[in-house]
Structure 1
Amino acid sequence: MNGQHTLNPGNTDRGIVTQQRAAPAAARQPIEDDKVMLRAARDLTKDIAEANPAIYWTDMLVSALIGYGALAGAILADSVPLAIALGVISALALYRALLFIHEISHFRRGAMARFGAAWNVLVGIPLLTPSFMYEGAHVIHHKRTQYGTVEDPEYLPLALMKPWTLPLFVVIAPLATVGLLFRFAVLVPLGAVIPAVRRVTWARFSALAINPKFRRRPVEDDLRQKVFWQELGGAVWAWTLIASVFLLGWKPILIAFAVFSVVATVNQLRTLVAHLWENEGEPMTVTAQFLDSVNVPPPGRIAELWAPVGLRYHALHHLMPSMPYHSLPEAHRRLARELGEGSTYHGANHPGMASLVARITRSTMTRR
């Protein structure tokens, strides 16, 4: 872990990595950057670092089409089992479509602007999660001096908290649907006429954050126009949903909200296992951030359902945040092959969600 790694799969530093990650936070030593791994991540992936627009457009459009088609089928179905089956299909497809917000947040300024606009019209605004809720905020989670600190909107030391925090973290997820509807239907119009409401809404309810202490800074100039149009679209859509009750009855919106709540819950479960959550607020090296993050690589296939669009390689993403999602599987194969099972890189690979939840749960049990 001191930058002197070799490419020998039998490297004894692997035991040091394991011990450091398993040790209590108070006893854990700072992890220095593994320069061999960082250099390999840079050098072995240069030829796959460019986004392929055709893959992005096809994946997003097909996912949205399946999601909305299955949602319509669930609303129109006469059979309850059929409606449930279609609802599950809709939730998984819309979940995949929604997670392109993560890719959009990493686009270089001006890159694939049409894709971002189309995504907002087709997915972001209909699901009341437009891209400004990630753009400009998510990048904080990748800053070396802010990852895992109180300034990070996407980090809580869950493994170091009380046992009851884990079920609470998951069960509040379905409330996000109602909260987003309230934000766009009530707070946005009020904020247009009451500056104080606008400031509070932006600071506290304008980022997809899990850190309750996070406060978003005033809107950046390059986002200001996007925010205006996306909030306007969200407010119009929110009131359209409310008005639909009087035109179509309660069934369509209740089924839609049930599907969106499943999406929110699956995403919360994914978030729960995206990191090991073992940092107590101190700045971390890139390698330490990598080892606090999670890869769930093949051969398991189910991870592609709950961590799609490259998010099953979340630790690798923290090494190379700008790497397009469709290149992450190949990048993982190259690094795993080159560095070997005894390397630092192998230390971020985990078998699946169940083992990760069990690990975090065991950690919280020591905090009673």
Structure 2
Amino acid sequence: MNAQNSINASATARTAIPDDKDMLRAARDLTKDISEARPLVYWSDMLGSAAVGYAALAGAILVDSVPLAIVLGVFSALVLYRALLFIHEITHIHKNALPGFRTVWNLLVGIPMLAPSFTYEGVHTLHHARTRYGTAEDPEYLPLALMKPWSLPLFVLIALLAPPALVIRSAILVPLGVVIPPIRKLVWERVSSLSINPNFRRRPPEGDLKKRVVWQEALATAWSWTLIASIFLLGWKPFLVALAVLSLTAVLNQLRTLVAHLWENEGEPMTVTAQYLDSVNVPPPGVIAEIWAPVGLRYHALHHLLPSMPYHSLPEAHRRLVGHLGEGSTIGKANHTGMWSLVSRIARSTMRSN
């Protein structure tokens, strides 16, 4: 009973955290000169990651050596994971900052991996809404630290099913939805977004997003049919190897999601500072975080302060804020040492709360 009271008190204290106005002011004033996206960085990083990832995937499919195929497959999953996470930048970047970037990314990465940008656009921004974060209306929040201990491994392992589920969605459910409106409504509301809140229901698309959904869905369906047809032309190996690589990528992303926040809010609205402290930075000197949280996501808490800051500027923004405010200030309280320490913390919290 005392442990449960302690957890409840901690959650209540977090929602009652007032905004640190010095931190919010510094975040605004000290980063104005690094707030523009640098096209060369974005294009070279995304195109290079996609090219290397697909080359490694081709190698994993073509080589006869099983150990070498595994090495190439793991490497491909890591590099394609980096390419895939540019979907996060596409959601936040100003639409005129990188002309053509969204379209090219969709053609080279989003559609081949059956995760077009519409699955994140119009959804992820709800996670950043001042009054939605951590509430039942947040599509990307679950109080994982307050749930049953078995929910954590289930949360991670269910990602293994994501790639085959995406194939089924695009190859079967989307075409059925074209002729059967109730299926179309169900698919859009329930399985058209990269969200983790099972109670989230997506609203119909509007404006430019509605147009993008049409062509992205059409191409994703055509690609999914091509993948299935390849089984009859090339055999099972290429399809299964690609599916295994994408499953590994999905699990890695789910692990990153698991440690992106402390997940200690029970559904009450939070101040911006409370949201920051419920989120996670894993700054240097460690280098491993750049592998499992690439494209700026190792600074996830800072991203909640500066959601439109381009990923290549986040390390410098963090350095400036820590230098100005000090490690002992609020800005330093969201810093953590790595994935496993965060997993352990969340796991211990589930045990105490239960």
Distance 1:60 1:89 in 2: 16
- Can you list the C-alpha shifts for 1:123-145, whole angstroms capped at 9, x where unaligned? 00000000000011100000010
- Can you list the C-alpha shifts for 1:157-201, whole angstroms capped at 9, x where unaligned? 000111110010011001011111111001110111111111111
Structure 2: unaligned runs, 5 residues or longer: 1-5
Correspondence for 2:109? 123
Q: Residue 108 of structure 1: CA displacement?
A: 2.1
Q: Residues 132-143 of structure 1 correspond to what in structure 2 (within 5 A)?
A: 132-143=118-129
Q: Residue 342 of structure 1: CA displacement?
A: 1.1
Structure 1: unaligned runs, 5 residues or longer: 1-19
Distance 2:99 2:250 in 1: 26
Seen in structure 2, the aligned counterparts of structure 1 residues 206 and 110 have a Cα distance that, compared at 3 Å, is farther
SS of 1:174's equivalent in the other structure is helix
Aligned mate of 1:314, from 280, 286, 300: 300
Q: Residue 113 of structure 1: CA displacement?
A: 3.8
SS of 1:50's equivalent in the other structure is coil
SS of 1:265's equivalent in the other structure is helix
Distance 1:25 1:115 in 2: 40
SS of 2:159's equivalent in the other structure is coil
Paired-residue identity, %: 71
Correspondence for 2:28? 42
Is residue 83 of structure 1 aligned with residue 69 of structure 2?
yes
Distance 1:128 1:365 in 2: 36
Correspondence for 2:162? 176
Seen in structure 2, the aligned counterparts of structure 1 residues 357 and 334 have a Cα distance that, compared at 3 Å, is same
Is residue 68 of structure 1 aligned with residue 51 of structure 2?
no
Distance 1:312 1:113 in 2: 26
SS of 2:76's equivalent in the other structure is helix
Aligned mate of 2:273, from 281, 287, 293: 287
- Can you list the C-alpha shifts for 1:287-328, whole angstroms capped at 9, x where unaligned? 000000000000000000000000000000000000000000
Aligned mate of 2:87, from 101, 105, 117: 101
Distance 1:331 1:29 in 2: 26
Seen in structure 2, the aligned counterparts of structure 1 residues 43 and 22 have a Cα distance that, compared at 3 Å, is farther
Aligned mate of 1:250, from 231, 236, 239: 236
Cα RMSD after superposing both structures: 1.3
Give the TM-score, by structure 1 length: 0.93
Whether the 8 Å CA contact 2:14–2:265 is kept in 1: the answer is: no
Correspondence for 1:264? 250
Whether the 8 Å CA contact 1:91–1:262 is kept in 2: the answer is: yes
SS of 1:366's equivalent in the other structure is helix
Q: Residues 300-339 of structure 1 correspond to what in structure 2 (within 5 A)?
A: 300-339=286-325
Whether the 8 Å CA contact 1:21–1:28 is kept in 2: the answer is: no
Give the TM-score, by structure 2 length: 0.97
Correspondence for 1:350? 336
Q: Residue 107 of structure 1: CA displacement?
A: 1.9
Matched pairs, number? 349
